[in-house]
Amino acid sequence: KDKADHERVRWYQAAQVLRNDDNIKHNIEREIAAMVHASENGDDNVLKSFENAYQPVLDGMLQTLGRLGITFDEFTRESLFVTNGDVAKIMQQLSNLEIHGVADNGAEYLDLGARGLKGKTEFYFRRGDGSSLYATRDIAYHIWKFKQCENLVNILGEDHKLQSKQVSLTLTELGYSTPEVLFYSFIKLPEGKMSTRKGNVVFMDDLLEEAKAHAAQVVREIRSDYSEKQIDQIAEAVGTSAVRFNIIKVSPDKGFTFRWEEALSFDSDSAPFIMYSHTRSRSIARKCQDLGVNIDQNNNFNLSEIPESMYELLRIIACHNDVLARAVEQNRPNLFATQLLNLANYYNGFYRDCKVIEDGVVNHTFFAISEIASKLLKSGMIGLGITPLEQM
């Protein structure tokens, strides 16, 4: 059986088919308009019916996002700004602006072309029947949000660029601050059953299950000694981390085609590559612990000779926090994703060339550096939503 959110997508698709039927389209539009108008007048029954419609969708989305390690602190219903009168006040303010206009059907708009907007310059904020539009409620929401914070960042799909510009220009016209906006380009899927070229709906749940299946296959090939329970746990962590990281590592304004061989590669440029590098460091730590070595209680370090691979690792460690700060300041998580890939790559070179344990003897200098890299790998993975594992 479909998840509730998947089922409602099917309902939406069916409704769109009905709306394309000229024989019934008018009746549907009239009923929708009546419900919107009733909701704006605080009709509790209609507002409850809206909630009953969207809540299963939201619950399903949260369940899916939870697998990716994504949670939200709070949600704000846009109906709040209608029922508390904020939207009505804003529409009245907009009606008094010099760039205000009225269409033949009574709908009201702002001519934002006078403020430099190109293309579709008419920003409609009130329908002919007096009800508000989504963007109008979005303006009320932004004004409310700015009362809760100093810096506001909107994360939107690239198809929202026009509306985002309209909202920002309108906020400026009303004398309010405007948000910083981070647009994400769309992700293409490869040919095959996950392709959307024929208009098929591809759910994130399907993508995650496919990723988990691919990861399980790889883990079975590498670790034939693992039980199915172990394989399932590792595959879930690897699959979901691979999907999330494969999106994060690309600059938000650049679209890309999702490819399994890239997302699930254990060799480079992927979450599994970083995860495997981290498990290597944990394996070393366990072996050193078995030998009775406690790095926190030992200062027997020797830096008289620094191998090239150790130097490269130390160099990437030294700039770690600077890259993180720049990624945060510029709202570009892909910068830190690249840093984490570099850290994993140089750690593997260090792991290859600098033997922490040789003939049962621990090199305390190498072990200390391995532990530093391990901690940075783990904290970086947690920050980017990759699941750290102790072994793979």
User: How far is the C-alpha of 74 from the C-alpha of 96, rounded, in Å?
Assistant: 34
User: How far is the C-alpha of 114 from the C-alpha of 137, rounded, in Å?
Assistant: 23
The answer to whether 281 and 366 have CB atoms below 8 angstroms apart is no
Q: Lowest-pLDDT range, 91-100, 164-173, 216-225? A: 216-225
Q: Would you place residue 200 in the very low, low, confident or very high pLDDT band (cuts 50, 70, 90)?
A: low
Q: Does residue 339 surpass a pLDDT of 90?
A: yes
- What tokens appear for 274 in the block? 């970083």
Residue 270: DSSP 8-state = S
Please give the model's pTM, rounded to 2 decimal places.
0.85
Each residue's pLDDT tens digit, 138-169? 999 999 999 999 889 999 988 899 999 999 99
Q: Does residue 197 surpass a pLDDT of 70?
A: no
Residue in this structure with the two tokens 């009905």, named with its chain if needed: 18
Structural domains of the chain ordered from first start:
1-71 (no CATH), 76-184 (3.40.50), 245-384 (1.10.730.10)
pLDDT of residue 22: 84
Buried b (16+ CB within 10 A) or exposed e, 28-43: eeeeeeebbebbbeee
Q: What is the 3-state secondary structure (H, E, C) of 106-170?
A: CCEEEEHHHHCCCCCCEEEEECCCCCECHHHHHHHHHHHHHCCCCCCEEEEEHHHHHHHHHHHHH
Q: Does residue 195 surpass a pLDDT of 50?
A: no
User: How far is the C-alpha of 372 from the C-alpha of 353, rounded, in Å?
Assistant: 17
> Side chain identity at 62, as an amino acid letter?
L
* Residue (of 272, 210, 278, 223) closest to 246 by Cα position: 272
| % of the chain at pLDDT higher than 70 | 95
96-120 mean pLDDT:
95
Each residue's pLDDT tens digit, 246-262? 999 999 888 888 888 88
Residue in this structure with the two tokens 């200098």, named with its chain if needed: 365
